[in-house]
Amino acid sequence: MSDNALHDSFFALHHGLPRQGPGSDTTTRRLLALAGRLPERPRVLDLGCGPGRSALLLAAEAGAEVTAVDTHEPFLAELRRSAAARGLDGSIRTLRADMGAPPFPDGSFDLVWAESSVFVLGFDRALTEWRRLLAPGGTLVLTECVWTTGEPGPVARAFWDENYPLRTVTGNAAAAVEAGYRILGTFTQPESDWDEYYGPLAAHAEAADTSVPGMTEAVAGARAEIALRRDHGSDYGYAGFVLRPADPRWPTRQETAGDAPAIRRVVAEAFGSDAEADLVEALRRDPDAWLPGLSYVAEAADGSVAAHALITRCRVGDAPAAALAPVSVAQEHQRTGAGQAVVRAVLDAARLRGEPFVLVLGHPEYYPRFGFVRASEYGIKPGFEVPDEAMMALVLDDSVPVPPGTIAYPAAFGV
């Protein structure tokens, strides 16, 4: 059996599938929403586009100019036909090229997109090599297979260790942060995304002509993969990652003991009184409230503290929760991105620490850019009167149910 026969049979089996990996239009829309505000006509690079289900949606619903890249010309031809049928042929350009060496200048795209295809390159390599393609403020969107349990069973472990070693969502998020990205959002894709892929694939396998050289092996491989999902799917899943390179103007880091005086000055200056600065110091002294590693500063070019953000322990009913407060920016650095940089950094630290969600009482036109929504959507409320839109929550780990209830802040808050 030649490698060419196996290659040809694999693609023959997959030809005509609506998508080449777990996914759905709903997931594509969710990823797009997490990317936030885009230019009026965003430039999108869809790498490993397959037959182009994502490219078609991005062109139609985001008004994007999409460059769709794949090595398999029949997929690209199918995409061109679909685009023409939808009147989108002026918005989608196809290119047969290697996603490992995209032939584009640095800074060419507002979005670099790869649903169900990053495994070809590897998650870490994609983080490193695709970053240069992003324009300032650009976003990298990936979906990747992940462990959904800390202790996967031996059958799933053996399969994935041999074929494509997996990490958890948190493990991939940590790799992204280490590579210099901020996490705009992550989520585990629903089981229905697997059905959209494996349902049609199973039908193709059933109808395949196994007399064709290589087809028996291709069908056996597909059926083994489907059976693994059926029998051991609770061990692994697919997840979306929406990432943006950290703002290079504002390096961020955990506070050190030597930062305390500078943090006090910034907080007092930002709020116009010592009350919030006293709050930070009281929280720092409270072992039940203080969460090590979740007090962050952004540094100005001269190394001084330009902004500060703090997350401490609170409770929702009987369940532990986390509260973002206060967030402070030195007056000379306000409206420069320093505040956003330090908030994103401390939220990433909370995510990697394992905090499932974060609460904030703040400006309803500012915090939604980080993904916060009304806490009341989860049945969460403060123990005092505030406008509903000002009390917000951000889910960091969607595998953990968000508990409803009343928020209890540390005593230092005085509420």
Average pLDDT for runs of 10 along the chain of length 415: 76 90 98 95 97 97 98 96 97 97 97 97 97 98 97 97 96 98 97 96 92 91 95 97 97 96 97 95 97 98 97 96 97 96 98 97 96 97 96 96 96 90
Q: Contact 380/315 with Cβ under 8 angstroms?
A: no
d(CA 309, CA 96): 46
- Residue 110 to residue 276: CA distance in whole angstroms: 38
Provide the pLDDT for residue 1.
52
Among candidate residues 380, 387, 396, the one with its CA nearest the CA of residue 365: 387
Element (H, E) at 294: strand 290-299
For residue 92, the cross-strand partners are: 66
pTM given for the model: 0.94
How far apart, in Å, are the Cα atoms of 49 and each of 11, 118, 183, 192, 320? 14, 11, 23, 20, 42
Contact status, residue 45 vs residue 109, Cβ threshold 8 Å: yes
pLDDT value for 415: 83
**pLDDT given for residue 8 in this prediction:** 85
Q: Residue type for 267, please?
A: V
Return the pLDDT at 5. 81
Tokens linked to 317: 């009913």
Residue carrying structure tokens 């990053």? 118
d(CA 303, CA 322): 29
From its phi and psi, is residue 36 left (phi > 0), alpha (psi between -120 and 50) or beta? left
How far apart CA 279 and CA 271 sit, in angstroms, is 12
Residue 185: closest CA among 33, 393, 309: 33
261 CB-contact burial (10 Å; exposed 0-12 / middle 13-18 / buried 19+): exposed
Q: How many CB atoms lie within 10 A of CB 39?
A: 15
Are 64 and 42 in contact by the 8 Å Cβ rule? The answer is yes
Cα distance between residue 198 and residue 193, in whole Å: 9
Cα–Cα distance for residue pair 59/281, rounded to 1 Å: 51
Confidence (pLDDT) at 2: 62
- Looking at residue 331, what is its pLDDT? 94
